[in-house]
Each structure stands twice: as C-alpha cells, then as structure tokens.
Amino acid sequence: MGWTTGRRLRRVQEADVAQKTVLVRVDYNVPIQQGKIANDDRIRASLPTIRWLVEREAKVLLATHLGRPSGQPVPEFSVRPLAKRLSQLLDRPVRTLPDCIGPSVVDAVDGGSAGDVFLLENVRFHAGEETNDPAFAEQLAASSDLFVNDAFGTLHRAHASTAGVASLLPAYAGLLVQREVEVLSGLLDSPGRPYVGIIGGKKAKSKLGPIRDLLPQLDAVMIGGGVAFTFLKAMGMSIGGSVVDDEFLDETRAILTMASEQNVDMLLPEDVVIAQSVATGVETKISRAGDIPDGWMGIDIGPTSVRRFSERIGAAKTILWTGPMGAFETPPFDKGTREIAEAVAQSDAFSVVGGGETGEAIESLGFAERVSYVSTGGGACLAFLRGKTLAALDALTE
C-alpha cells in the first residue's frame, strides 16, 4: 500500500552535474528573531546535498521561501541572514542575489564558476510563486540545467519553485527528500505493531482529516493539546472556556464512531491542567478533563493522562507524533509535552516526529537526538502518510 509501490524516485546521484548549473529548492523557512536565526536545523538538513553537488563541480543555485510576504518584497523576509549562516556552515562563500529571476540573476550565475553557491532572494517576493505561474517558473529555471528538490517540507504545495520548474528541467530528489521518503514509506509499508499515533496541537480543524485517514493504519490514537477539547465536547463533556472547533463536532463524532468500528483505541485526556489565561505565573489547577469550570480553560494534559499515554507509548513498536500536548512555549504548560517526549525517547519503538511545531518542541526540549526520526515537514509528512497526492514529489518520479 506504500507510496513507493510501482514508482521510482529519480535521485540526484543519477544525474551528471559536473560543470552544470543546478537549481536546488531548499526549505529555509526558519524562525528569525531580531535579524538572527533562532533555529538553523532546516539549513543544516540541506548541507549534504549542497556539499555533494559542490564536490562534483556543479554551480549551485539555491531557492527558498521565507515567511509570508504576500507576493511582494518585504525587507524583514530577505534571505540575507540565511546566506550568512549557510556560508558559515559550508565554510565557503555564499553569494546572495538581489532577486530570484531576471537579468541580474542570469548575469551573476553566468559569471560564476564550478563549485560556486548562490542563494536567490525569497521566491515568495513574487506572486507567481504560490500560484505556480508558468511564466515565473520559466524565469526561475532560465539559468539552470537541472533541478533538485530537497525541500521536503514544501512537497505538498504545487508552487512554481517546487512543481513548476520540475516540469521544465530534468528533475531529481535531493538527499534529504530521499531520506524522508525512505523513512515515511516504512511507516506505510511495514510498521511494527502496536503502531500508535500521538495527535496534538492547537486546533482540531487541522487534525481531524489526518486522524480520519490514519485510523486504518493505527492500533491506538492518543489525543492531546487543544484538539482534545473538541473531542471531549463532542462526547457531551464540560470543557469550560477551552479551545474548541464547534463547527466540526459532527465530524469529530463520526471519527469516534469510525475508531470504534475499526477497533482503534482512542485515548483522550482524563485530566488536564487548567488556568484562566495562557501566561507564565498564573494560577493553575488540575481538573477532570470533562468537568472544567466556567471561566477556566484546559491548556495541558494532566499527570494521570501523562501516565496513561506513557504506558501505551512504552508498549508500542512504532510511534507517530504530530502536535504538542499543550502550550509548550509557555511554562508551566510545557510539562505534558516534555513528559510525553521523555516517554517517546525512552521507548524502544521506531519513533517519527512530524515536523513543524512538534519538531520545534522536541528540539527546544532537548529530545531531538533521542527519537528515531524528526521529519523536516509537518504538513508534508502528514500528507504523505495519509496517502495524499504531493504534486512536487510526483514530479520527481517515473
């Protein structure tokens, strides 16, 4: 049933890159605070592919997005800080170009030499990027002989710099994309049993689809974070002022029915940490999950829930985790996420953490090195595991 059935990924190792200009889509959409990169994991993840190309005398032209500049140049979303950090990590100069298309780019690249590394300006400074405008894709591809996609976190988006250019140039998967596909295909094809999912995050709206599609693959699902309160309300419980997606209550009930019919254990919190606001230093209490007083909201899973979830995690052979268990950015509401991370780290299971917010939580809590794999893409990871079409990935297959 896996994604790889009947399909083959074209790998960059198969390409003749010597003396060629290679356009590489990377995902450098990293957090920048006061002009400084707060987390460079995504930049580090791209290094093996860049080094492989440089060692084989390719001219490397890197393309990325950063933030949401809405199709126009916004100075705070310039890639210049990224180039500085990348240059340090590669221990070689990385030249930032003033745009990602146009004569200035063509002239600069033409004037470069084998082994040079250029970083194009933010592709989202042009509206044609997110609309996958063919003319914009042609301009992006104008200076290059080959295209390599190493931006796994963007593969679920059919944008000009992901799917568009792949239709114009010989297109290959970079080393990071290859690794992501290999790991996630293992979860689709032959996961060890029991296979459990840990689903959290702020809103049920973004997680109900993944839960529904993953149910046939899983033996148990543990629901935490803000997602849990929509489930609890759907079951007729009192959740006080907790976050809830009222418009999805019927869909939530349908998912609970599906889980029962498919013999998938659905574990919801038995207790939660409640407060009257999300802030450090506020009064907190432990409440039964379905009996939260008015004026209070659930912000983290409680100690009984942590123990119950941890027992299931400890017995698992495969773990997929997407979404924190509470407002981990604001202590003391990081405790549930921290203790579940500890349980996953101590488990003998093969554990995969979806990227995005969960990856950031695992990294900030110091557990990234103790889980089996942290995906670089949250949405792309879930889309892949759900069996959704990833247009930019399909463009790399034959």
* pLDDT digit string, tens, across residues 321-348: 999 999 998 999 999 999 999 999 999 9
Query: Which tokens hold the place of 86?
Result: 């990348």
pLDDT tens for 208-221 read 999 999 999 999 99
Q: Per the structure block, which two tokens stand in for 119?
A: 């970083």
205 is catalytic: no
Q: Please give the full DSSP string across 346-396, using - where no structure is assigned.
A: H-SSEEEE-SHHHHHHHHHTT-GGGSSEE-S-HHHHHHHHTT---HHHHTT
Determine the Cα–Cα distance for residues 76 and 309; give it in Å rounded to an integer. 41
Please tell me which residue in 84, 203, 212, 370 is annotated as part of the active site: 203
> What global pTM score does this model have?
0.90
Backbone angles phi, psi at 256, to 5 degrees: -60, -40
Residue 277: count other Cβ atoms within 10 Å of its Cβ.
Answer: 11
For residue 2, the model assigns a pLDDT of: 43
Considering only the top CATH level, what class is 191-385?
alpha beta
Catalytic-role residue among 164, 200, 356, 378: 356
CB neighbour burial string for 356-387, b if at least 16 within 10 angstroms, e if fewer: bbbbbbbebbebbeebebbbbbbbbbbbbbbe
The ranges assigned to domains in the chain are 12-178, 191-385
The number of beta carbons lying within 10 Å of the beta carbon of residue 202 is 16
Give residue 270's pLDDT: 97
| Amino acid in position 139 | Q
In contact, 229 and 252? CB cutoff 8 Å: no
Could you tell me the mean pLDDT of each successive run of 10 residues in the chain, 398 residues long?
A: 65 97 96 87 96 98 97 95 96 96 95 96 98 98 97 94 97 97 91 96 91 96 97 96 95 97 97 96 95 96 98 97 93 94 95 84 83 89 90 93
Query: Cα dihedral sign for 162, 188, 199, 358?
Result: negative
Q: Considering Cα of 164, then 182, then 176, then 75, what sign does the dihedral take?
A: positive
Per CATH, 12-178 and 191-385 having the same topology is answered yes
42 counts as catalytic: yes
Q: Are 184 and 384 in contact (CB under 8 A)?
A: yes
- Contact present, 378 and 354 (Cβ < 8 Å): yes
Q: Which residues lie across from 162 on neighbouring strands?
A: none
Class (C level, CATH) for 12-178? alpha beta
What pLDDT was estimated at residue 360? Answer: 80
User: Considering only CA atoms, which of 385, 368, 364, 260 is closest in space to residue 318?
Assistant: 385
Q: Which of 20, 42, 124, 312 is catalytic?
A: 42
Token pair belonging to 244 = 């809830």
What DSSP state is assigned to residue 397? B
pLDDT digits (tens, 9 = 90+) for 357-375: 788 888 878 888 889 999 9
pLDDT given at position 1:
37
Residue among 128, 201, 290, 379 flagged as catalytic: 379
